[in-house]
Amino acid sequence: MRQVKRIAIVGAQNTGKSWLVQALASQPCTQDWVISDNSPLLMAVFKHLMFADESLYPMALAQQALVDTTLVTGLDLPEVGGGLKSDFPHERSLVDSLLRQALERAGIAYRVVYGQGHQRLNNALLALGLPGEDTAARLVRERAQFAINQGRTIWQCNECSDPECEHKLFTRLLSQRLG
C-alpha cells in the first residue's frame, strides 16, 4: 500500500493557491497526494488580522504540523480586487508575514513558490522534490542564483519576513547541488 502524501498550500489571497492545487493535482506523479489550499492556519491569520484574536493559532498550527509539506505562495502575482483590501491596504503582505511568522514560531518547515502560470507549477514541483522543468532551464536558474551568492549580482530582498532569508536557504541548497 502506497503512503498518501499531504501537501498544504498557504498564502495570502490572490497568490494562486487554488490554481496551483488544480495544476499539481493534474500531474501524474501526484495521484497519491492530498493537496489543500484551505488551511486552518489561514483562518487563524485572518482572525488575528481582523479581530486581534490569536486564539486559533495553537489548533491551526497543530493541524499544520500534520502536513508532510507546506508550500507558501509568494506575492509576485498581481493583486486583484476583493478580500479585505478596502479595510487593510497592505493586507496581502500582512497575511504573508503573519503566515511565515506563525510557521517559523512553530518550527514548521515551508518552501515559498514564485512564478506565474507554468513557471509557478514548475517551481512547486521542484520544491516538492520532483522534476519540474527541463535540465537546461534548471541549470540557468541555478547558475543565476549561484552568481548572487558569489557577489556577481546584487541581492535585494524586498519585504523579507523570514528570520533566515530565502536567499540564504536557496544558496545553501544550490551550493550543495553544484558542489
pLDDT one-digit tens code per residue, 7-63: 999 999 889 999 999 999 888 776 788 999 888 999 999 999 999 999 999 999 999
> Each residue of 105-120: pLDDT tens digit?
999 999 999 988 888 8
Q: At CA 81, angle to CA 117 and CA 111, rounded to 5?
A: 40
Q: Is 58 helix (H, G, I), strand (E, B) or coil?
A: helix
Q: Which residue has the cell 493586507?
A: 91
Res 142 pLDDT > 90: no
Q: Residue 88: phi, psi to the nearest 5? A: -130, 95
Entry pTM: 0.71
Cα distances from 16 to residues 31, 54, 103, 152, 156, in angstroms, run 21, 26, 20, 32, 24
Per-residue b/e over 86-99, b at no fewer than 16 CB within 10 Å? eeeeebbebbbbbb
Looking at the domain 5-133, which fold is it? Rossmann fold (3.40.50)
- Per-residue model confidence (pLDDT) at position 2: 67
Orientation of helix 118-127 relative to helix 17-25, angle to 10°? 70
- pLDDT of 124 > 60? The answer is yes
Q: Given this model, what pLDDT does residue 85 score?
A: 46
Model pLDDT, residue 122: 86
Q: Indicate where the chain has its CATH 3.40.50.300 domain(s).
A: 5-133
* pLDDT band at residue 167 using 50, 70 and 90 as cut-offs: low
12: left (phi over 0), alpha (psi -120 to 50) or beta: beta
Contact 161, 96 (CB under 8 A): yes
CB 126 within 8 A of CB 132: yes
Distance CA 133, CA 125 (A): 9
What is the pLDDT at residue 4?
Answer: 85
What pLDDT was estimated at residue 123? Answer: 86
